[in-house]
Structures are given as structure tokens and as C-alpha cells.
Structure 1
Amino acid sequence: MKYLKLLSIALIIAVQSCFSADEDPVSVPPMTGATSKPAVGGANEPNQVWIDLSDIDPVTKEPRQKTNLRTDWELGFYNGDEFRVIINGSIGMAVAKIPGATNINSVKSADVSSLMSVVQIGTFTASNLEYIDNPNGNFLTQTTGIAEIKANDADNGVYLVNMGKALSTATVAPGSVSLTGESRGWKKIQILRSASGYRVRYADLNDDQYKEQVITKNPDYNFNFFSLQKGQAVQIQPQKHNWDIAFTTFTNEVFMSPGQSAGSYFYADFIITNILSGVGVYQVDVPAGKTLDQIYGEFKLSDVSQTKFIFNDHRALGDKWRTTTGANGPQTYSDRFFVLKDAEGFYYKIRFNAMTQNGVRGYPNFEFAPL
């Protein structure tokens, strides 16, 4: 539960004096709005940035940020009742079950050479969606990516893992991005259940002896994360109720034309919402004859439309806040803002003011206010 983050010390003392020793403090939204400059890291966008709109730093007056390099993790292990594993779409990973393989040690690169040419993203083929997680974030029901981990060990296959791309260090022209460096190579994995969570077996393709790591479920977090490169658990997301939105690169579905999928594609300047913890978002369009300043300024709690919230797609905000093809180059839209409902039922209005700094992408700026 979030505590009284934004009140002065005196007010905290006064309010808490009303609680009995057996009562928890009551969650409250921020008393005023704030501006945020997520530390995405410039045109190479090396960072994922996790933000809780109600957690305001009393010194900076901005929401606190938790950041990690996009390459810090490859696998996320779900901490709920189901046994599900996600891959890191922020580095363009892909994964495929190796037909007929049950013994991870016996798999060699020669056995998967034909798979390696297709287990990719950005190939403009609709079929490559099967190698990534469901772009809408509904991993519990997806039939792509890594299958549900079965209770019977023999029912869990061996997977070929495309480790995605390293971070780019290239210098690019203003308005452009460079998101991907060299290939990070390939791994083979097999994931089983354990008494407390998961057992992940992993190795390089030609290794004849796997390594194994136990991942213990922790209900305070949506996922436990693991680095195949480092062979260790890593902390990525904040606790499950302590983030609302995240700035990241993203593997999404792209379309050649309406209804004609071109498969998976890598996006810059993307925002996901924490739908696992009940965060919902919808867009408010500025009507003709009005300005964003007018409509955003006048919008109040009684104007919120409960039926418009999107709770089942973590792309509800996605790339809808910015354009890369505007007359003035990459810029935020001035004809819309967004309403967000967090996991505790508080409402915020959010407007995006910038996606560049001196013409360089990867420097977003947004403001928000509680309703």
C-alpha cells in the first residue's frame, strides 16, 4: 500500500495521530500536479523508466523514477498463481520452441540453424508474431512466446532464444534514433516448475551442460526478472502497486494496411501501463475550436468517463502521445491528453509537452494533475 507521500511532516503526524495502532495509513493522491522528465537517455534510449504518479520527491517536486538498462534482463517470471514467463521486448528478443527437443544438453547450433533465420523481429511477415509475447500485454492467455510452464517436467520443451540487440552507441542526427547495436547472440533454455516457483535451465547453443537457477515467487512484485547473460536474478520493476507507467522501447505489431499484419516491429518512444495492477488509461481529444490548454485546464473529476478506460491493453498510451512525421519533425500531439486511473482508484490527467531536447529524441517531458 502506498503511504502518505506528499504531505508535510507536520500533516503526516497530525493525520497519523488519528489512527489506532492496528490501522494502516490511508492512501492519498498527490495534492498538486507535477512535471516529469523521464531519464530515457537520449536518442539511443538505453533506459527503461518506471514511474508512480503518486510518489513525488519532496525535493525535486517530480515523481521518483526507477531506471534500468534495457539489456539488464531477458526473462520475467510471473509471481501470480499461474506459471508464465515473458521475454524482453525492449531489446527485440524472440523465442521458439525447438521441435522434438526434450533434453537441453543434446541441442546444438546445427539442430536449430533453420530456426535461427526466422526467429527474428522486424521481418515484415505476420508469422513472426508467434516468436514474441502478445503485444497487448495479455501474457496469461497468449499462445505465442514461451508456453505456460507445466507441472510435469517432461511436458516443458526446450526453447531457442534470440537474445535481441545490444544498446547502440551511435551518434545520430537530430530527430532520429539509433536503438540497436550488435546481435547479443543465442541461448537455449528449458523452464520447469519448482516447489517455490521456477527452475530455469540455460546454456549457450553448443554447451553440453546447462546451468540452473531457482526463481522463487514473490507476491510483492508482478515479475521476478533474470539475466541470462549474467546468470543471476535482477530487480527491474518496482513493487507491483508502485508504478503506473513505464517509458521503454517496445516490440509491437505493425500493419501494412488496416487488418493486414506485417508482424513484429521495434518501436522507440513507447509507454506501457501497469495493467496487471489495474491501471487504466484513455485519450481525450481536443474538440474543434478549442486548445489543449483550455480543455486540459478545465477538465475535472466529474468529466471522467468510466466506460472509456482501457484496462486490458498496456499499449493504451503506447505511441499515441507523439508523432515522428509531423511538419516540425518528432513532436508531441497538441490535440489530445490522457486520463489515468491507478491501481488504488485515483485519477490523473496527463499531457505531454516534449519528446526532444534541442531536437534530440529520448528526452520526454510530461505534466499531470490529480482529479
Structure 2
Amino acid sequence: MIRLKSVALLISLLTVLLASCFKEDMRIAPYQRGDAKTDTIAMTKYYKYQVYFDLDIQGTVSSNERSASDLAFETSPEGWQILLNTADFMNAADLGVIPFGIPQDTIGATWLFDKSNGNPDSTAIGVWFDISADGDTISNQHVYAINRGMDDLGKPLGFMQVIFDSLKNGTYYFRFAELFKDSIVYTSVPKDPTVNWLYFSFNSEGSVQQLQPPKDSWDLLFTQYTTLLFTDLGEAYPYLVTGVLVNRNGVEVAKDTLNDFSTITFDMSQQMIYSSNLDAIGYDWKYYNFEAGSYTVTPGITYVIRNHTGFYYKLRFIGFYNDVGQKGYPSIEYQQL
């Protein structure tokens, strides 16, 4: 009996001694998601500016004039796409293998627009190359007629002709001239893997424009862009709209029209279906109210966004005008889940 008591006492002493050797568990404060935030994006009255917005920093990363570029070149290691600046309602026509650098006849040409979803199979320029035996990207030598569209005031920006010659060692090589003239400019655009796209302007004999901020620094692009709408008969036609495109670097969006903004939780976000289409948010969060003669935000739509850092946010639009009644100032309310 005495022996059992001694063993019990020894165990108790060891328990106390061992407990004193371990530090008390650190108390971790719960993550503070904070209240909902509101912001107004200044695209201005005629939608002159494109604005890059980051949900994590709760603000604008950068902005630029929408007509600052004509072409966008994909910069990922395997990338080869070339896009038009659809904010200016640009389009292009493949004229085939014809003499370059002379005034071109575009009668009968098929003019195409980039689709707004970002699908590489749905671009106006399309696949402009063949692959050589050593893996280089070599031009098919097609001449592309480029309609530069119009600026924010509706001024036509003219026409160009372009041959994309090659993509070698991370650099695009191409030449261009005005469509109805014969002065040829040879130029190049080197890839920059820190961004999704590098931009190029035909102005002043051409220049590279690094308009897009680093791809790991933003989520949403507020801009005008061209999309396809459909008539009552199902016929597609291009139309210039004002809306939001998403960062292709990991940003995905789910659209919720069933639940109130205030009731959407993180757990609910895990059951939603997400899209990585560039126009997953798009433009139809508003509509033109002909009776009021103004734009009205479509009620009951919440966008749940998985952003480039992996956080989840809920977002809704609450306005489209500034304090003095000018359109082009979309207002958003958003909150981290």
C-alpha cells in the first residue's frame, strides 16, 4: 500500500515537472476580416481611363488612358497570343499572303473582333505562325489589316497593315505601315514575365507601352471593351460596353443572384462554381433605364471573387455616377470572407 502511494506521488511530481518544461500554448487572435468597404472608380465621363484595382490593398494600383496602346502581346514563357485594344473598338482582317508595304485594298475582307472572354481560339488575329523544326515560331507571312477604332471622344484612329514575322528567344518581331501608304517600320517587343501582357502603340513610329501593373498586384480592370451581343433573331453583333475584366493570373469569379450580399459567408463561397473568363464580371451589373434617362445598377447581384492571392471577397455594385451626376464612376461595396 505504501509502495502504491509512493508511485502515485512520483507520477504526480513528474507530471508537474514535465508541465513546467513546456511553454503555454500561444493564443492566436481570430482573423479580423473587417467591415465592408466602398470605393468609386474614376473612369470619367467618356470612359477615358482604364483602372486596375486590387482587393487586398483596397484601392487603385494604376490607371492609363484607354487609347494608349493598339496591340497586346502575351508574355508567359509559352505565350504567343496577340490581342487588339478592344476598348477602342478595334478589329482586324487577315488579307492573306500579299505584297506588304503598299496601299492595300480591303474590299471583301472579313473583319473580326476579339471575344471578351479571353479564349485564345476567339481572337481576331488568331494563329499567325508555324512552328519550325528547331521549335522557333515563324510567321505565316499573312498581312493583317488593323482598324485602330476610335478614341473616347469617337475620333477615328486610322488603319494599319502588319506582318508578325517571328517569336524568337522571348521577343516578338513584326513590321507595320499605314494601310494606304508605303512607309514600313520594323520593330520588336521583348517579353516581360512579370506582367500578363506588354502593349504596343503605333503612334510615333511605334513604342512599347508597359501599361499593365505586375500580374501579382491586381485583381480587376475597370474599362470599356468590345463584346458580342445578340439580336432577337440570335444574330451576333459587336458592341462597346463598360464593365470589369479580371486578372487572368489566378482570379476567378462566381455570380450569386439568390442570396443577399450581407448573408453570403465563406462557407457558402466554397460551394459556388467559379469562372476564369476575363469577362466573368462583365458589364450587365447595370442597365440603361430609358424612363429615367440614366444607368441603373441591376439589383440582387453579388460577385464572389477568389483573388490572385487566394482570398475570397464578395462584391456588389452600388452606383455608376459621381457626386455631380457624371457617369463613368462605378461604385463598389466589397468585403473579405
TM over 0.5: yes
Q: 1:265 aligns with which of 224, 236, 239?
A: 239
Would the aligned equivalents of 2:89 and 2:240 in 1 still touch at CA under 8 Å? yes
Task: Give the secondary-structure state (helix, strand or coil) at the position aligned to 2:150.
Answer: coil
CA contact (8 A) 1:76 1:85 kept: yes
Shift in Å at residue 355 of structure 1? Answer: 0.6
Letter in 1 for 2:93: A
Q: Go from structure 1 to structure 2 and tell me whether the alpha carbon gap of 1:279 and 1:152 turns closer, same or farther (over 3 Å shift).
A: closer
8 A Cα contact 1:253 1:261, kept in partner: no
1:323 touches 1:331 (CA, 8 Å); kept in 2? yes
Picking from 294, 297, 313, the partner of 1:348 is 313
Instruction: Say yes or no: does 1:280 pair with 2:252.
Output: yes
**Which residue in the other structure is 1:112 paired with?**
106
Aligned residue number for residue 207 of structure 1: 181
Query: CA distance change for structure 1 residues 206 and 235 in 2, over 3 Å: closer, same or farther?
Result: same
1:246-266 Cα offsets, whole Å, 9 max, x none, are 1111110010137x1322111
Deviation readout 1:200-234 (Å, 9 max, x if unpaired): 21111243341122211111111110001231011
Distance 1:82 1:281 in 2: 23
Q: Is the 8 A contact 1:95 1:146 kept in 2?
A: no
State whether structure 2 residue 127 is matched by structure 1 residue 147: yes
Match of 1:244 among 219, 224, 228: 219
1:350 Cα deviation after fit? 0.6
Letter aligned with residue 43 of structure 2: V
Q: Aligned residues: percent identity?
A: 24
| Residue 298 (structure 1) aligns with | 263
User: CA distance change for structure 1 residues 299 and 326 in 2, over 3 Å: closer, same or farther?
Assistant: farther
**Contact 1:83–1:149, Cα closer than 8 Å, also in 2:** no
Matched, 1:73 2:69: yes
Alignment CA distance shift 1:74-1:30 (3 Å):
farther
Q: 1:234 aligns with which of 185, 188, 209?
A: 209
Q: Is the 8 A contact 1:188 1:204 kept in 2?
A: yes
2:216 and 2:33 map into 1 onto residues whose CA distance is: 16
Residue of structure 2 equivalent to 1:160: 145
Change (3 A) 1:89 1:262: same
**CA offset at residue 308 of structure 1?**
1.6
Unaligned runs of 5+ residues in structure 2 are: 1-30, 131-135
1:175-190 aligned at under 5 Å gives the runs: 181-190=154-163
Q: Larger helix proportion, structure 1 or 2?
A: 1
The secondary structure found in structure 2 opposite 1:302 is helix
Structure showing greater Rg: 2
RMSD between superposed Cα atoms in Å: 2.3
**Contact 2:254–2:272 at 8 Å: present in 1 too?**
no
Task: Look up the equivalent residue of 1:74 and give its one-letter code.
Answer: D
How far apart in 1 are the matches of 2:221 and 2:287? Answer: 18
Match of 2:302 among 328, 333, 337: 337
Contact 1:254 1:265 in 2 (8 A): yes
2: CA distance between counterparts of 1:326 and 1:296?
27
- The answer to whether the Cα contact below 8 Å between 2:83 and 2:124 also exists between their aligned partners in 1 is no
Aligned residue-pair number:
297
Contact residue 306 and residue 313 of structure 2 kept, 8 A = yes
Q: Secondary structure of 2:186's partner?
A: strand
Q: Is the 8 A contact 1:84 1:149 kept in 2?
A: no
Asked whether the equivalents of residues 245 and 279 of structure 2 are also in contact (C-alpha less than 8 Å), the reply is yes
Distance 1:306 1:226, change over 3 A: farther
Aligned residue runs from structure 1 range 96-135, under 5 A: 96-101=93-98, 103-105=99-101, 107-109=102-104, 111-115=105-109, 119=111, 131-135=112-116
- The whole-number CA distance in structure 2 between the counterparts of 1:336 and 1:135 is 20
What CA deviation, in whole Å up to 9, does each residue of 1:323-358 have, x standing for no partner?
Answer: 113754311122222111112211001121101134
Alignment of 1:11-30 (within 5 A): none
* Distance in 2 between residues matched to 1:356 and 1:35, nearest whole Å: 14
Aligned residues of 2:254 and 2:275 also touching (Cα < 8 A): yes
User: Which residue is 2:197 aligned to?
Assistant: 223
| Aligned position for 2:5 | none
Matches of 2:255 and 2:139 in 1, distance apart?
Answer: 46
CA–CA separation in structure 1 for the residues paired with 2:207 and 2:243? 27
Deviation at 1:184, TM superposition (A): 0.8
AA aligned to 1:361 is K
- Stretch deviating more after TM superposition (243-252 or 207-216): 207-216
Identify the residue that residue 174 of structure 1 maps to in structure 2: none
What is the alpha-carbon distance in structure 2 between the residues aligned to residue 87 and residue 221 of structure 1?
17
What letter is aligned with 2:264? Answer: F
Summarize the Cα distance change of 1:41–1:242 in structure 2 as closer, same or farther, 3 Å threshold. same
Q: Within 2, Cα distance between the matches of 1:39 and 1:229?
A: 26
Q: Is the 8 A contact 1:38 1:65 kept in 2?
A: no
